[in-house]
Amino acid sequence: MDDNQDGAADRAVPVYSGDLSEYTVNGIKDADSRKPIRITVKNGTVKNIYGAYNAEIAVSKQDAVVIDMQGGYSETIIPLINCKTDGYARLEYAEDMVGTVADGTYDEWTGYYKNYAGNISIYGNYIAKNEIDAKSLAVRSDSDAAVIFEKPVTTTGSYSMSYGPTVTFKDTVNIGSTFTTNQRAEITFEGTVDVEGTVSLSSYNNVRFKAPVTIGKTLTMGSSANVILEADTVCDTVSTSYATVLDITETAKLSTRNLSVYSMAKIYHRGIFAATGSVTNSGGYWCVIGGTFCRRYRCRQYTFKNIIR
């Protein structure tokens, strides 16, 4: 048994010793619990592993069920089946350790799932208290869900998300590829952001960058997106869409090569703007509210007309 749930056996004498290759292991079944459930597999073969089956686990905002495949093999893993909990499910396994990860009844699924390739998926309301280091990260939560990353987030690949959740990054974010959102997302970055590829913010997003931002390629904002920059932001190109609002606050400096302002888009220029290429306007508005244009990096071409001072 693993009473303190650290992944190591706490007792010298096992509860059961034998061949489990044709057996199903349930963390909890047909019962309720006020404590989290953890299953750690270090070697051997288990036919099926069910984290919680027909159960209610009364823990809130922490891991309610953890299945950690450090070794061995299981044909099928289902974290939750007809399970009710305000906590999270957490599943991690390495390559070639699991045949199938089945959904079970995902209507109650909330939590963290890291597959053998290093791709992490987040479901439902979730607070990630540990550092995220993955190949890719996908927030698949519903539109009424809130996801909080309390520690640094690092991926060698991409970040993506579903329609509408609220996501808060309280520490640094480093994305090795692209950062892509879906419609009506609410995102707050409290730490520095570094994205090697393109940042694509979808329509009706509300996004706030509170710390310095570095984007290797293009910052693209969808229609009616609202984006607030509160610190130094560097990217190759900035591209708006219909009715986009980009707010360069008093504490921010936006440095880019090119910027395009689409129809009905608004740039609220309170801080410093610097460009080395071209700034073009296709029917949008540039509202200078105490902001300055950095002369050292003066644009070579200005074609916009709607400057409001």
Which residues on neighbouring strands pair with residue 268, listed in sequence order? 247, 287
Q: What is the DSSP track for 191-225?
A: S-EEESS-EEE-TT-EEEE-S-EEEEEEEEE-TT-
Q: Per-residue pLDDT tens for 105-114?
A: 444 456 777 7
pLDDT digits (tens, 9 = 90+) for 146-192: 999 999 999 999 999 999 999 999 999 999 999 999 999 999 999 99
Say yes or no to pLDDT of 261 above 70.
yes
pLDDT at residue 186, rounded to an integer: 97
Strand partners, 111: 89, 123
More confident residue, 298 or 99: 99
The tens digit of pLDDT for each residue in 130-146 reads: 899 999 999 988 888 99
* pLDDT value at 301 more than 60: no
How large is the average pLDDT for residues 1-13? 61
In whole numbers, what is the pLDDT of the chain averaged over residues?
87
pLDDT, tens digit (0-9, with 9 covering 90-100), for 13-72: 667 677 889 999 999 999 999 999 999 988 889 999 999 899 888 887 788 888 988 888
Cα–Cα distance, 58 to 218 (Å, whole number): 45
Listed in sequence order, the residues at least 6 apart from 138 whose beta carbon sits closer than 8 Å to its beta carbon are 119, 120, 121, 122, 159, 160, 161
